[in-house]
Structure 1
Amino acid sequence: MTRHWSPLAITYLVLALAGLVGTWFFNTLAIIQLRDFIGDLTTSGPAVSSITVDLLVVAVAGCVFIVAESRRLGMRFAWLYILGSGLTAFAFTFPLFLAMRQRRMTQLAASVTPTPGPPRA
């Protein structure tokens, strides 16, 4: 096996497996119990548990990504995005992080790329 599996890739893989097992456990339970997924969304049940596990695993993977990517790009205060997700919603803080990440990447690219000067004769 080649050394393409970094610790971060393995972390994401483990989280993906946790999401698969967690959600499909509740999906299978809902099917066995002949539950109504749409009805369960408003009255609770295995479908809600499946969605909860799904969103929780995505949020944890997103937090790992925020920490790893902010370290890679030299972004400070990444913990504020994670803390903010508990105060607002991850649906807000993760896209905000992605926007700030893109801004940082553009800033880094501009500092490396020389600005074109006047043409040489």
Structure 2
Amino acid sequence: MNTVHRHEGDVRCATSTWFSPLSEPSGHGPSTSVPSRASDDYLAGWFATAASSSAAVDVIVVAIVACLFMVVEGKSLGMSRAVWLLVPLSFVIAVAATFPLFLAWREHHLERTAHRAGPVRAEAVAS
């Protein structure tokens, strides 16, 4: 066997273990270790790279602002204190589910309070 073919095999082996998602960082084959806590690996994955860190911070900021909006808006409209239940649900389920739920609940509350108040007189609106 000549030298070129031998080195070509070494390069192929090195690149396949380096880029394989199943290989350990040391490059000694597939990883068979089980993580001690899956949540540690999940949260570490959020901040593993610059791109994932940026996306994670965006999601966290949006979640905090949405929760603050739900609580403040719910309180200002006189909605039930059950709005506070949406805050932990935002982190357990997803803000993408709880925020539209809050908006629908808010719309229902506004319609209900407008219906109770009755028709608005024109002179009250003009002043």
Bin for the TM-score computed over the shorter chain: 0.5 to 0.7
1:55-91 CA distance string (max 9 Å, x none) = 1111111111011111011111111111111221111
Normalised by the length of structure 1, the TM-score is 0.55
SS in 2 for 1:58: helix
- Structure 1, unaligned runs of 5 or more: 1-43, 116-121
Please name the residue that 2:61 is paired with: 57
- Say yes or no: does 1:94 pair with 2:91: no
Q: What is the RMSD of the two structures over their aligned residues, measured on CA atoms? A: 1.9
- Structure 2, unaligned runs of 5 or more: 1-47, 121-127
1:16-48 CA distance string (max 9 Å, x none) = xxxxxxxxxxxxxxxxxxxxxxxxxxxx51111
Equivalences for residues 71-110 of structure 1 within 5 A:
71-76=75-80, 77-110=82-115
**Structure number with bigger Rg:** 2
What is the CA–CA distance in structure 2 between the aligned matches of 1:85 and 1:62, rounded to whole Å? 9
> 1:107, CA displacement in angstroms?
0.9
Higher relative contact order, structure no. (Cα contacts within 8 Å, ≥ 6 residues apart): 1
What is the CA–CA distance in structure 2 between the aligned matches of 1:59 and 1:52, rounded to whole Å? 11
What is the CA–CA distance in structure 1 between the aligned matches of 2:53 and 2:118, rounded to whole Å? 49
What is the CA–CA distance in structure 1 between the aligned matches of 2:98 and 2:110, rounded to whole Å? 18
